[in-house]
Amino acid sequence: MQQDVLLKMKDITKTFPGVRALDHVSLELQKGTVHALMGENGAGKSTLMKCLFGIYNKDDGHIYLEGKEVNFKSSKEALENGVAMVHQELNQALKRSVMDNIWLGRYPTIGGIAVNERKMYKDTMAVFDELDIHVDPHRIMSTMPVSQRQMVEIAKAVSYNSKVIVFDEPTSSLTEEEVEHLFRIINMLRDRGVGIIYISHKMAEIKRISDYITVMRDGQWVATRPAAELEMNDIIRLMVGRELTNQFPPKTNQPGEVYLKVDGITGMYNQLRDVSFEARRGEIVGLAGLDSSGRTETLESIFGVRTRKNGSITLDGRPCLNRSAQESIKNGFALLTEERRATGIFGVLNIRDNTVISSLKRHKRFGIYLSEKSQREDTQRYIDAMRTKTPSQETKIRSLSGGNQQKVIIGRWLLTDPEVLLLDEPTRGIDVGAKYEIYQLILDLANKGKTVLMVSSEMPELLGICDRIVVMSGGRVAGEVDARSTTQEEIMTLAAKYV
């Protein structure tokens, strides 16, 4: 048994500032098996794989490939040692032909100078025949559908004689027929003794294809079992099974009359279709769903940073156009974005500048001059109110922890006096203690009669502080549930409705 172990990851630990992303995670992959890796968003699956491929440096732990310790510096090095990955987002030279992509960086040559096109073509066809892929090696990548490009990626992995192939959500853009083809290829690879790590959210697929299932949760290893022993419900229980004790402050808000109405929002450049729901004063509405189910797009469409094709927004009976962020802020909306680093913080600016940027009008004197004193006061008020831990107002926000950065940005929005708060993953990348404070803050806001729309991938969080949860799936509203009476299983089922 032991010599059949192809890849062994032992006690992998990875800490990001304020967050332990991986906590002594171990994984063993046998020869000729498909090993499914499951877990909620943010459970640490991707981080674990990034540690394997050297995209992140692990803090601790060892990786053994066929008994020898390895420590890849880059995915290229991993590939050369027979460890390949088929990515969610394909990383290809789109303007080049299929065979160029496969042999990129190791073109067969004649005399070391001229590229041997004929050998390249022959070798490509040999791999394609083996995998039963029907693609012309001369075709330009960008002219092919994503599914075929993925096949090319797999062929590339095979052409390197890979011993281990990692599939990260491979079926998310495939049709049923293509999925069948993919599974045939995976089965064939398994029969040849390749070890396969298969990451997916789709239970049915996992049950069909995998031999072993490892479940992760909160950066920790939870269980590894033979797939035959696990039923779908067992997997879900393992994935979400955490106790909900004292993680959340007591709910005290009292929803009032209907305040915000969102009617038939359809996106111009995204998958949103006919999204409608209502929210009351003092109510916290959660938006649940899988990645790319359209939750973020919904918030951004309401706020006007994404273009809507159709649909209307009504606030307190008054229609709001919300064509741009400026207009939405004027109408009393505030949006806390999902990607704090990309669209939230101004990294090189200090905390004061980060706090006051959306409410500069408050500090204007004589129509032009900005009062330093009033900026300082406002900033200090919110540093105190939210217990932001910072040496001074002049500290660059980049040097704060995730939780404190988030508090600064929430402060920025509260200074604009919003009536509707759109919070996108407000607790992402924040440690548990700070999470509690942010929950408390959200509840306080609801108590003051503000309407809160909150997107989160952490279901316990939604169940813990929301009043109502709108579940989205494939860009549509799949259903609405009462947060008090629903279960994670019910939400999961709804979330998979239009996948």
Query: Distances from the Cα of 441 to the Cαs of 12, 272, 395, 459, in angstroms?
Result: 35, 30, 23, 19
Segment interacting with other proteins, rule: CB under 8 A, options 25-33, 151-159, 258-266, 367-375: 367-375
Judged by CB under 8 A, which stretch of 77-85, 252-260, 351-359, 486-494 contacts other proteins? 351-359
Q: Which of residues 276-305 bind other proteins (CB under 8 A)?
A: 303, 305
C-beta of 410: minimal distance to other proteins in Å? 13
- Applying CB under 8 A, the span of 12-20, 63-71, 106-114, 144-152 interacting with other proteins comes to 12-20
Instruction: Give least dist CB 363 to other proteins, A.
Output: 9
Contact call for residues 146 and 89 (beta carbons, < 8 A): no
For the window 43-82, what string marks contact with other proteins as x by the rule CB under 8 A? xx-xx--------xx-------------------------
Pairing of the two strands 333-336 and 451-455: unpaired
From 29-37, 349-357, 444-452, 491-499, span contacting other proteins (CB under 8 A): 349-357
Positive or negative torsion for Cα 123, 128, 134, 138: negative
- Given the complex with other proteins, which of 179 and 305 has the nearer CB atom? 305
Residues 119-158 that bind other proteins (CB under 8 A): none
Minimum distance of other proteins from residue 473's CB (angstroms): 20
Site string for other proteins, 416-435 (x = CB under 8 A): x-----------xx------
Report whether 357 contacts 346 (CB < 8 A): yes
- What single letter denotes the amino acid at residue 9? M
Instruction: Give the residue among 358, 366, 363, 472 at the shortest CA–CA distance from 409.
Output: 358
User: Tokens representing 274?
Assistant: 């006919």
Among 353, 378, 437, 467, the residue binding other proteins under the rule CB under 8 A is 353
HSE-CB of 244 using CA atoms within 13 angstroms: 16
- Pick one of 91, 113, 252, 369: the residue that binds other proteins (CB under 8 A): 369
How far apart, in whole angstroms, are the C-alpha atoms of residue 228 and residue 210?
Answer: 9
CA distance 332 to 413: 10
Q: Does residue 19 interact with other proteins by CB under 8 A?
A: yes
Token pair 């494939």 is at which residue?
A: 474
Does the CA dihedral 316-321-323-326 come out positive or negative?
negative
End-to-end CA distance of the chain: 39
Binding site for other proteins (CB under 8 A): 15-17, 19, 21, 41-44, 46-47, 56-57, 219, 303, 305, 325-326, 328-329, 335, 337, 339-349, 353, 356-358, 360-361, 364, 368-370, 372, 392, 394, 402, 412, 416, 428-429
